[in-house]
Amino acid sequence: MRSDDTAGDLPRAVGRRTRIGLVAGGLGAYWPQFPSLLPQLQASARRVSERFASMDCEVVDVGFISDAQEGAAAAEKLRVADCDLIVGFLTTYMTASMLVPVAQRSGSPVLLLNLQPTESMDHATFDTGAWLAYCGACPLPEMANAFERCGIEFRSVSGYLEDERAWARIGRWIRAAGVRAAFRHGRHGLLGHLYPGMMDVVTDPTLVSAQLGGHVEILEIDDLRVRVEKVTPAETSGRMELAREVFVLDDSVVEDDFRWGATVSVALDRLVEDFDLTTLAYYHRGLDGEAHERVAAGMILGASLLTARGIPAAGEYELRTSLAMLVMDKLGASGSFTELQALNFHDNVVEMGHDGPAHLAISSAKPLLRGLGAYHGKRGWGVSVEFDVRQGPVTLCGLGQRRDGTFHLIASEGTVVPGPLLQIGNTTSRVDFGRDPGEWTDDWSASGVAHHWALGTGHRVKDLEAVAGLLHLDLTVV
């Protein structure tokens, strides 16, 4: 890149926070026998609630239960709360009858926690009451057996209260619950029409609602055109100033094209707000510079700004890739619209990227706006986003669709490494997968992925395993 400055932080879209239902419990028969036990366990439960709140979750804490009757009351509160994940904290031994109703009635995924107070007991000084505070492991097999017999899925994390390894695993389930929530409550815009001939990217909107939840909003290019026509000169100027803060403007940028891109960007924001969109996938072919072609050609700047704010926008009518981008963004990986560019057998890397919108957060430096007299494979002209992906670990995530219509996740972890890159108005990266690039490409193509996917920062396969588990999707790792 031509600048050492990174893109400025853009305000994130305000969405629904992940809602965690928390119920902690233990066997009430212990309380009169060991008076100091219950206060200790309740303090542990408060600490767990605090840790969840620090993850930017909305915590619905229904308190501490001691018997099946209290468990049933807690179950009703959590059913009404419509949580994205139910967490049952096993502070000591408790019967399965206390938690089965919670899991049955909520309809939400269940995570069981066995977090003892410290790494180990002090065997020389502990009496029975002190030991029971470490006895959360005891009921875990009972819960597992009872849940299986009741047809209830669950997952568990065992450790101790301040065990960061355990909290890392818990964090994966929290992030996965956030992805599930984004799909359940999401509104996904599908604007325009399919890029002619791209058979792999065709997606039945009904299958999105059926398998992932949420709603697909079918939009026309006129829905954007009419909003473009209502943008004021002052709004356009303001968006140009924002773009100058976020991007480096290359000498190839034509002022009128920059102004047009800024105008379309303002209208895109209004479109997203009016239809309450979580994601957007778009394409319109156009002809001979007519109004709709100009609107479609002006979307790259605005779509990139939307993506950076946490509203993934993908070109070429790529609904499934916009959803994969949402997965990566919710995992904190900032998924960007990506495809293969070329293979470099000298350096053993796969070169990939895409023209059009990109996630600015993965740029190695301040992203560039480049003026293009033509968009390859598309009609129109204007400004395009160009940057090199930040060096370090990355993960590819695609949402595939099988012959029977079922979706599945496909992922691969690699490392972005330095080297020569194209300067053609695209995002670009050189990814080392630790193997022959030709063999990797063959395996990646055979996985069922389409020719677009999301590229995000960090190694995220463990997170994607949790996402796949909560969404009941298969995960293929290449």
Render pLDDT for 435-446 as a digit per residue (tens, 0 to 9): 999 999 999 999
95 pLDDT exceeds 60? yes
pLDDT band, residue 5 (cuts 50/70/90): very low
235 pLDDT exceeds 80? yes
Say what the pLDDT of residue 251 is: 92
Residue 226: both structure tokens together: 């009419």
Say what the pLDDT of residue 427 is: 86
382 pLDDT exceeds 90? no
């450790």: which residue's tokens?
159
- Mean confidence (pLDDT) of the chain: 93
Average pLDDT over residues 234-254: 95
15 pLDDT exceeds 90? no
pLDDT band, residue 56 (cuts 50/70/90): confident
pLDDT digit string (tens) for 348-361? Answer: 999 998 887 889 99
Average pLDDT over residues 205-223: 96
pLDDT band, residue 4 (cuts 50/70/90): very low
Say what the pLDDT of residue 13 is: 78
Q: Are 312 and 279 in contact (CB under 8 A)?
A: yes
Say what the pLDDT of residue 2 is: 36
Task: Please give the residue that has the higher pLDDT: either 282 or 107.
Answer: 282
Angular region, 82: left φ>0, alpha ψ -120 to 50, beta rest: left
Q: Is 34 exposed, middle or buried (0-12, 13-18, 19+ CB in 10 A)?
A: middle
224 pLDDT exceeds 70? yes
pLDDT band, residue 147 (cuts 50/70/90): very high
The neighbour count for residue 43, using CB atoms within 10 Å, is 12
Say what the pLDDT of residue 468 is: 97
pTM, entire model = 0.93
Say what the pLDDT of residue 377 is: 67
pLDDT digit string (tens) for 396-434? Answer: 999 999 999 999 999 999 999 999 887 877 888 999 999
1 pLDDT exceeds 90? no
Q: How far is CA 381 from CA 226, 230, 257, 289, 326, in A?
A: 20, 22, 8, 9, 28
